[in-house]
Chains A and B, each alone.
Chain A
Amino acid sequence: MMHISEGVLSAPVLLTGAAATAAGTAIALKKIDNEDIPQVGIVSAALFVGNLIHIPIGPTSIHLVLNAIAGILLGWKAFPAFLVAFLLQSILFQFGGLTALGVNVFMVALPAVVCHYLFKVLIKKGESSKWLGISGFICGAVAISLTVILLMFSLIFTHDSFYEMARMILAGNLVLVIIEALLTGFCLVFLRKVKPELFIDLQVEGGGLKGSERV
């Protein structure tokens, strides 16, 4: 689980995370109309549920982060989407917490936004389903790697003695990088096959279709 518990990080790290998340959310809120709120809300509820699914890996299982898909579909709106989802998780089952909320959101939402732009660049290079899958794979891998790197930084900037632990976390999450990448790729191919309008409605370019007014 990509959450840092309450009380672990130092004040400067917590403040930086909170400020960065506040800035990202402010940018996103300007882009959200009343019309978008149900959409962003319900899609982030789906991501919330997606986060709770156990994916088997050998004898154990892991939870998904799904920030690449969130980023591709929501763009900057991934910031408020994750903010709200994590706040709810902390109220309902104490995952994450309050003071660490800023850092936890930033760790997943920034890579999501990065992926949004990365995907736009990648998808211009080809139209085929295969390429869409590969783009998804790359985005998924980049998103989780960035998240893990941010997680490591926030630990190491808190105190040098977290270095060993951060390295273990990196090693442990390499598998997650691959699984998320695979899932992101498959999921995007599926979405374009089943509901291509989704890409247009959510203003993701290059979904393979053009035009069509939003209802």
Chain B
Amino acid sequence: MIDLNQGFAQGSSWVHQLDPRVKIMTIFLLAVILAVGESIIMLLQALAFTTYLVLAAKLELKKVLKRLVVVNFFILGIWVFVPATYPGDALMQVGPLSISTAGVIYATKITLRSNAIMLGIIALLSTSTVSSLMQAMRWLYVPEKIVYLFFFVYRYVHVIWKEFNRLYDSMLMRGFKAETNLHCYKSYAYLIGMLLVRSYERSTRVYEAMLCRGFRGEFHNLDDLSFSNQDLKIFSGILVFISWIIILERGVFLI
């Protein structure tokens, strides 16, 4: 049901091998430019670029599409409401509603933006292991406490997910049925409560175990990030592309 394992992180394409620092910087720049960008031509080219990255990473396209469908549900809602309520000249009449041209353009921009950024995240972030991303975040001056917190959440989400399934299975075995009534909600509340209790107890155990092994508030990396020649070439290429979409958006003189 939920894929907590990083299915996309397995692979050996050049996208997978790219330095995670380069990936984070790229997706950050791209996402910011796309989020504020207004030019449809720029958005289309950026979408083509991120689609290319996904293809180059040789990911399972079926899975990628599935993710995109989920993301586009919200976008679908926008298509239902915005074109009909956006002020501007009418493109056509549907019953009592008039669909405005400006509204359709606005919704198109949102769709392009959203999908371009999502594909970018899939291609660049989901193809790295979380541990390498954490190293990169530390290198990029993300506060250490955030990185450690990220580490713990990632490390224990799997464990707690298993714990949850165990608890839920035992509920099912005792004849629990998911229905819309008070008893059911109470059971869910207790389930979440039990999950919190177990997680909390686990956290104290983990911390004590860490202290026993000499934890002094520092995590040490065993493998280092390396910035290869290929990373340099690809990063330069990406920077050229990013400058290009900025030019498309704002003109050469950035006015």
Contact = CB atoms under 8 A, between A and B. Distances in A.
Contacts of A186: 185-186, 189-190, 193
B61 interface: no
A37 B199 contact: no
A215 B125 CA distance: 39
Contacts of A160: 87
B194 A194 contact: yes
B22 interface: no
B121 interface: yes
Interface size class of B (residues with CB under 8 A): 35 or more
A25 interface: yes
B149 A42 contact: no
Given A25-B146, A38-B206, A163-B85, A53 B192 contact: yes
Contact of A5 (B75, B80, B198): B75
A56 B184 contact: yes
Contacts of B152: 37-38, 40-42, 45
B36 interface: yes
Contacts of B215: 34
A44 B197 contact: no
Interface string B118-134: 10011001100010010
Contacts of B207: 35, 38-39
Contact of A46 (B117, B118, B195): B195
A92 B3 contact: yes
Interface string A43-69: 111101110111111100100101001
Interface string B172-194: 00000011101011101111111
Contact of B28 (A48, A83, A98, A161): A98
A28 to B, nearest CB: 9
Interface in A169-215: 179, 182-187, 190-191, 194-195, 198, 201, 215
B234 interface: no
A194 B117 contact: no
B35 A161 contact: no
A29 B146 contact: yes
Nearest to B191: A53
Q: Is the interface of B mostly helix, strand, loop or mixed?
A: helix
Given A37-B148, A93-B2, A195-B197, A53 B81 contact: no
Interface in B94-117: 103, 106, 110-117
Given A42-B199, A50-B195, A8 B78 contact: yes
B203 A42 contact: yes
A94 interface: yes
Contact of B203 (A43, A187, A195): A43
Nearest to B178: A56
A66 to B, nearest CB: 7
B154 A88 contact: yes
Nearest to B35: A99
A168 interface: yes
B110 to A, nearest CB: 5
A87 B196 CA distance: 21
Given A39-B200, A185-B189, A186-B185, 6 more contacts: A11-B35, A53-B192, A69-B192, A183-B188, A184-B189, A186-B189
Interface of A: 3-9, 11, 14, 25, 29, 32, 34-35, 37-46, 48-50, 52-58, 61, 64, 66, 69, 73, 80-81, 83-85, 87-88, 90-95, 97-100, 159-165, 168, 179, 182-187, 190-191, 194-195, 198, 201, 215
11 contacts: A7-B117, A8-B110, A45-B159, A45-B199, A84-B149, A88-B154, A90-B125, A91-B133, A98-B121, A99-B32, A183-B188
